[in-house]
A and B are shown apart, each in its own frame.
Chain A
Amino acid sequence: MVRKIRVLIAKPGLDGHDRGAKVIARALRDAGMEVIYTGIRQTPDQIANAAIQESVDIVGLSSLSGAHNGLFPKVVHILKEKKADDILVFGGGIIPVDDIPALKKAGIREIFLPGASTEDIIKYIQENVRLE
């Protein structure tokens, strides 16, 4: 039996705009995934710990406040330190296109920008998460 994909949707930093994170969390649930949403104002430590505790396959980070360049790589880094870098990390929000190469180099697998659909994200997760 194939188990459900487990996803953590998280909001790092001080940004409180959670409409996108909540809509995506719900869409992923409707698509049959187990989703944990952390709520706002999470530190990279809290996010990484939650990801490990909840044994998720993939973490989605949302930031609209411009703090993504520092915060997103930190989450990847902490997961790596804790030997949990099999957990994939993707992100979205208000992120200048010019920032994406550096984010990808830092280990964020994909960035979804304004205009992306929940279908795009569902498809991405289904295609990239390997279930054992």
Chain B
Amino acid sequence: MAKNVREGFERWEKTTLNKVISKSPEREPSFKTTSHIELKRLYTPLDLAELDYCGELGFPGEFPFARGVQPTMYRGRFWTMRQYAGFATAEETNKRYKFLLEQGQTGLSVAFDLPTQIGYDSDHALADGEVGKVGVAIDTLRDMEILFDGIPLDKVSTSMTINSTAATLLAMYIAVAEKQGVKSDLLQGTIQNDILKEYAARGTYIFPPLESMRIVTDIFAFCKNHVQRWNTISISGYHMREAGCTAVQEVAFTLADGIAYVEAAIRAGLDVDSFASRLAFFFCCHNTFIEEVAKFRAARRLWAKIMRERFKAKKDDSCMLRFHTQTAGCSLTAQQPDNNVVRVAFQALAAVLGGTQSLHTNSRDEAYALPTEDSVRIALRTQQIIAYETGVADMIDPLCGSYAVETLTNEIEKKAVDYIEKIEAMGGAIKAIESGYIQGEIGESAYQYQKEIERKKRIVVGLNQFQIEEGPLKEILRIRPEVEQYQKEKLAKVKKERDNKIVKETLAALKKAAQGSENIVPHTLGAVKAYATLGEISDTLREVFGEYRER
């Protein structure tokens, strides 16, 4: 068969193709993906001649999971439609959550403001002007109770984008659930808790790397015993991709971080099969459709191999890369914002064809502000249309076997392995971040991308081609300036009404645990229940762990 194809292909090139190419050359001398992988004009069975279907692709729900992590995938259950949301106060965010749930979203995703993410209360000097701007302000358990008011925590799953203060927010979530009568072993959700990418690309770190890893592994251990259905970490490539890295780098840097977390947990005394099935991942989905579909499949297969071969995981569950996807914010434009609806639709479709477990779709006003109700509704409808109208959810991994998709999946995996080996030779992800290597690679890719746009080597519709005369979007979400004062007053009230003696005691116990090797999560839970503030808890840990300074 192969001989016939090869002969046919060569004949086609020399005759049919050549007839056209000799008269009209193609649009570019070569076509490359965003990861600089050269694209062939045509992929054929010849490209997959070496394919070992059972070994490299297999079946959904089985190692190496290239075709998906669940045996029925979306025929069993759609991906979770989980819109990242949060702004201003807990009261207003609670309202948005109820709106989103009413509109059909199937999981919650909490966006916290920067002071909350960085361990500052709303009345801290550095919180000035930042309170409630990029997410909801949470100072104490009181805010968390309001945030989930009327939302049954045994019936929803909640993802919280929180990293250096993840233990505190997880503790608050557990405490709110307790007040609802829901035991922690029933809770379903995720904390992002991926501190390594904070140093590399996102910036909401507090403590230095090793101390932060200790907190991460404390959380793994605590959840293993008390919150067994919880995803203890969402190892993220999204932010590094948004910072400008390529698809291959996104896979490589994310899995390298994953390796670092697994190693840290093992060093902390945990057996790999006791925590690995609760690791989750978070990827971006950008515009280059086929490359993105291939990327997700490559990541799944590569992680499975790493867990089995390197970490000797015995359970198949421990080798499963389950992931959330967010469509690429950085691909959206301020110019002609309706075009963003189209971009997001293609990106969301690629994520679904790539087998994502959970999906956030950006809104058309992404380049301006947090989404209005109207904008976020369109974003949610985009997912619902894919789920209910396109039919792609009715079969599993439908693009498998495409010569182009499988070749790109192999290419991305190979190139990611090269990068990971390079990072491991440096001593691993932590060393690669401390030396600035990962940041440098991201920065270089970002710069090249921008240059391509400015030289019109890369067209962004409406931005550097097909522009129109237009004014800015007028109807955007604005955070009222009164929010900050309101939040400060609420915080002052909580501090006045709580038993400050107990707060002092819980913080002292937390400090002692942090200074030793005792798990800090139970003590964080104690402090949180006493209405210690997020700032007080973070400051207690700052006293012990110190603060990280960017190099």
Q: Which residues of A contact B (CB under 8 A)?
A: 13-19, 22-23, 26-27, 39-41, 43, 65-67, 69-71, 94, 96-97, 113-115, 117-119
Contact = CB atoms under 8 A, between A and B. Distances in A.
Given A14-B120, A22-B443, A70-B128, 16 more contacts: A13-B129, A14-B127, A14-B204, A16-B198, A16-B202, A16-B204, A19-B242, A22-B446, A23-B446, A43-B126, A66-B129, A67-B133, A96-B472, A113-B334, A114-B333, A117-B454
18 contacts: A14-B114, A14-B115, A14-B130, A15-B134, A17-B203, A19-B243, A23-B244, A26-B447, A41-B550, A67-B128, A70-B128, A94-B367, A94-B368, A96-B368, A113-B334, A115-B334, A115-B335, A115-B463
A16 B163 CA distance: 13
Contacts of B435: none
Q: Which 6 A-B pairs have the closest CB atoms?
A: A16-B203, A70-B129, A66-B133, A67-B129, A14-B114, A114-B334
B118 interface: yes
A119 B450 CA distance: 11
Nearest to B134: A65
Nearest to B114: A14
Interface residues of B, number: 39
A113 B368 CA distance: 9
A13 B130 contact: yes
Q: Say what secondary structure dominates the interface of chain B.
A: loop
Contacts of A71: 129
Given A19-B330, A94-B369, A96-B476, A67 B454 contact: no
A115 B333 contact: yes
A96 B118 contact: no
A19 B134 CA distance: 17
Interface in B430-479: 443, 446-447, 450, 453-454, 463, 471-472, 476, 478-479
A20 to B, nearest CB: 9
Contact of A65 (B130, B447, B450, B454): B130
Interface of B: 114-115, 117-118, 120, 126-130, 133-134, 198, 202-204, 242-244, 330, 333-335, 367-369, 443, 446-447, 450, 453-454, 463, 471-472, 476, 478-479, 550
A65 B114 contact: yes
A56 B336 CA distance: 37
Nearest to A69: B129
Contacts of A16: 198, 202-204
A114 B75 CA distance: 40
B130 A67 contact: yes
B446 A96 contact: no
Nearest to A97: B472
A65 B128 contact: no
Contact of B450 (A23, A40, A66, A69): A23
B130 A23 contact: no
A119 B203 CA distance: 27
B366 to A, nearest CB: 9
B550 A40 contact: yes
A22 B478 CA distance: 27
A69 B118 CA distance: 21
A101 to B, nearest CB: 13
Contacts of A13: 114, 126, 129-130
A37 B299 CA distance: 34
A17 B114 CA distance: 12
B447 A23 contact: yes
Interface centre among A18, A23, A66, A97 (most CB of B within 10 A): A66
B134 to A, nearest CB: 5
B123 to A, nearest CB: 15
Contact of B478 (A27, A96, A115): A96
A43 B479 CA distance: 22
Contacts of B333: 114-115
